[in-house]
């Protein structure tokens, strides 16, 4: 198939408020705008964590890459991310089995678990220091959830995860948390997706990858042996392949509706560096509610609280609700931890995509040849970005990838 598609000509507002990690890191590097015609083996559209990880894998595989982003690098959803790295998906494993089948559900969980370890290896390799292995506590405040939690614990245990059932008493004693039932998992980590994106791209630049920001792709022409991307400045990029890592703006590129957009909120406390109290082992936590509430500690003994998701209608509404939502998140925290001090410092919100099975879309889409998609949606956006980068590298090199079908557009 050949043809040209026209992409949207403006940035969608994806973030509101003051994302902590953006404030903390600022704009650490300058990248040029593309101002001439050029050619490469693979062009990656999108300079968030998905694009950066793909650039890392493709560059390491010896493919000559160009990465372009319409915005300044990292200023899509990635700068809003709270960057919990989890093997646990938005849909519990025992329920996911019913949706996508036992094998695919287990494999999806396992791939995310492996991705946590691989991300840590990769961060060590590039000398990126902002990560921390953490246990993860999935809890319910409803006594009626006993069976649900036991079923989930059993499913995870059978899938090979190191998990422990916790009672209300265990959680009160260990974490001072008011909850009814819980599952403690050994695997998990926290990081800083925004800084990692820059870290990866700096590494890729040294290996010969070219990175351009403020370079919006306006049209794509699909030819038999190449794709030709035209930028807003009318510069042409001819490439053997394209990788689309445009996150929630992918709707500008394909006609298939694959994701529902929500808006999710987060707050972070002031530094509590002088306070002794923190919960045991700095475990990250999230609950069984829909939408779920999640908590974790960050640098300077700060506390991050996130959740209160709502369907996304427009960014004006998000700005309007941000204050109200942040007050609610602070109350949510105080209801769970009555003895902890918490004074909010920053609040922000970001667009968040949900697929019907909580799985990402990775691989090719029949109507856009020579193009691979790296669309890690949902609460596991980052671990899925790594899974996507691996699968796409295999597909692009003509290698078989046993996991590709699970996340394909045709599933
Ligand atoms: C508040 C919040 C908390 C979150 N917490 C977590 C968490 O704890 N753990 C987790 O795993 N995930 C989390 N996520 C999700 C995670 O942040 C996202 O999955 C991830 O950042 C998406 O990265 P991305 O690179 O795919 O998309 P983006 O970061 O949005 O990058 C896509 C890029 O594509 C560019 N682009 C779009 N169109 C074009 C075009 N035409 N031409 C050129 N460039 C274009 C955009 O400018 C953008 O920079 C959270 C998200 C939010 C909002």
Q: Atom 21 in ligand 1: which residue has the minimum CA distance?
A: 78
Tokens of 380: 């596991």
How far apart are the C-alpha atoms of 46 and 67, rounded to whole Å?
Answer: 7
1 pLDDT more than 60: no
pLDDT digits (tens, 9 = 90+) for 353-398: 889 999 999 999 999 999 999 998 888 899 999 999 999 999 999 9
Atom of ligand 1 nearest to the CA of 84: 8
Atom of ligand 1 nearest to the CA of 383: 11
Q: What's the mean pLDDT when you consider all of the chain?
A: 94
Q: Atom 32 in ligand 1: which residue has the minimum CA distance?
A: 246
How far apart are the C-alpha atoms of 20 and 195, rounded to whole Å?
Answer: 12
Q: How many CA atoms within 13 Å lie on the side-chain side of 328? A: 13
Q: What percent of the chain has pLDDT over 90?
A: 84
Q: What is the DSSP code (8-state) at residue 32?
A: P
Q: Atom 2 in ligand 1: which residue has the minimum CA distance?
A: 81
- Confidence tier at 248 by pLDDT (50, 70, 90): confident
Atom of ligand 1 nearest to the CA of 215: 43
Atom of ligand 1 nearest to the CA of 73: 49
Q: Atom 41 in ligand 1: which residue has the minimum CA distance?
A: 217
Helix (H, G, I), strand (E, B), or coil: what is residue 305?
A: strand
How far apart are the C-alpha atoms of 45 and 27, rounded to whole Å?
Answer: 20
Closest CA relative to residue 4, chosen from 361, 369, 251: 369
CA of 178 to the centre of ligand 1 (A): 33
The tokens 């069976």 sit on which residue?
Answer: 147
Reported pTM: 0.96
9 pLDDT more than 80: no
Q: Ligand 1: which of 13, 77, 318, 351 to mutate, most ligand atoms within 8 Å of CB? A: 77
CA of 77 to the centre of ligand 1 (A): 3
Yes or no: is domain 3-7+17-81+193-258+357-407 CATH 3.50.50.60? yes
How far apart are the C-alpha atoms of 312 and 371, rounded to whole Å?
Answer: 28
Write out residues with Cβ below 6 Å of ligand 1: 7, 14, 45-51, 68-71, 75-78, 80-84, 193, 216-217, 245-247, 249, 264, 266, 306, 350, 352, 376, 379-383, 385
The pairing of beta strand 15-17 with beta strand 227-231 = unpaired
In this predicted structure, which of 12-16, 145-149, 150-154, 357-361 has the lowest mean pLDDT?
12-16
pLDDT digits (tens, 9 = 90+) for 289-308: 999 999 999 999 999 999 99
Q: How many CA atoms within 13 Å lie on the side-chain side of 219? A: 12
How far apart are the C-alpha atoms of 230 and 46, rounded to whole Å?
Answer: 15
DSSP-derived secondary structure for 125-160 = HHT----EE--EEEEES-GGGHHHHHHHHHHHHHTT
In this predicted structure, which of 37-41, 46-50, 61-65, 377-381 has the lowest mean pLDDT?
377-381
How far apart are the C-alpha atoms of 46 and 69, rounded to whole Å?
Answer: 5
What does the buried/exposed string (b/e) look like for 369-395 if buried means 16 or more CB atoms within 10 Å of the residue's CB?
Answer: bbbbbbbbbbbbbbbbbbbbbbbbbbb
- For the chain, residues classed under CATH 3.50.50.60 are 3-7+17-81+193-258+357-407
72 pLDDT more than 70: yes
């Amino acid at each position: 198939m050949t043809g040209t598609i026209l992409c949207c000509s403006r940035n969608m507002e994806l973030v509101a408020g003051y994302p902590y990690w953006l404030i903390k890191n600022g704009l650490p590097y300058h990248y040029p705008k593309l101002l001439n015609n050029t050619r490469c083996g693979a062009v990656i559209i999108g300079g968030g964590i998905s694009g950066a990880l793909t650039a890392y894998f493709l560059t390491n595989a010896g493919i000559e890459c160009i990465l372009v982003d319409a915005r300044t690098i990292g200023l899509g959803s990635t700068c809003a991310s709270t960057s919990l790295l989890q093997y646990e998906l938005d849909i519990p494993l025992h329920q996911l089995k019913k949706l996508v089948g036992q094998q695919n559900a287990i494999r999806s969980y396992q791939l995310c678990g492996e991705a946590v370890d691989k991300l840590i290896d990769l961060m060590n390799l590039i000398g990126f220091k902002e990560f921390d292995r953490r246990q993860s506590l999935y809890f319910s405040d409803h006594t009626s959830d006993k069976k649900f939690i036991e079923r989930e614990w059993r499913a995870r245990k059978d899938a090979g995860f190191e998990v422990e059932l916790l009672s209300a008493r265990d959680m009160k004693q260990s974490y001072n948390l008011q909850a009814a039932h819980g599952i403690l998992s050994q695997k998990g980590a926290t990081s800083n997706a925004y800084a990692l994106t820059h870290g990866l791209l700096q590494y890729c630049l040294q290996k010969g990858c070219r990175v351009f920001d403020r370079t919006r792709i306006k049209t794509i022409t699909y030819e038999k042996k190449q794709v030709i991307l035209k930028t807003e400045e009318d510069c042409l990029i001819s490439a053997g392949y394209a990788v689309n890592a445009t996150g929630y703006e992918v709707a500008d590129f394909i006609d298939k509706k694959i994701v529902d957009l929500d808006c999710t909120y987060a707050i972070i406390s002031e530094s509590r560096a002088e306070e002794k109290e923190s919960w045991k082992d700095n475990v990250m936590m999230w609950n069984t509610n829909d939408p779920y509430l999640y908590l974790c500690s960050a640098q300077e003994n700060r506390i991050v609280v996130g959740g209160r998701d709502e369907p996304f209608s427009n960014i004006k509404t998000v700005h309007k609700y941000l204050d109200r939502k942040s007050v609610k998140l602070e109350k949510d925290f105080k209801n769970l931890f009555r003895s902890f001090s918490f004074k909010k410092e920053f609040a922000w919100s970001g667009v968040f995509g949900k697929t019907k099975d909580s799985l990402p879309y990775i691989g090719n889409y029949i109507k856009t040849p020579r193009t691979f998609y790296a669309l890690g949606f949902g609460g596991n956006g980052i671990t899925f970005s790594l899974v996507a980068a691996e699968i796409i590298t295999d597909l692009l090199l003509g290698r078989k990838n046993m996991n590709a079908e699970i996340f394909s557009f045709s599933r």
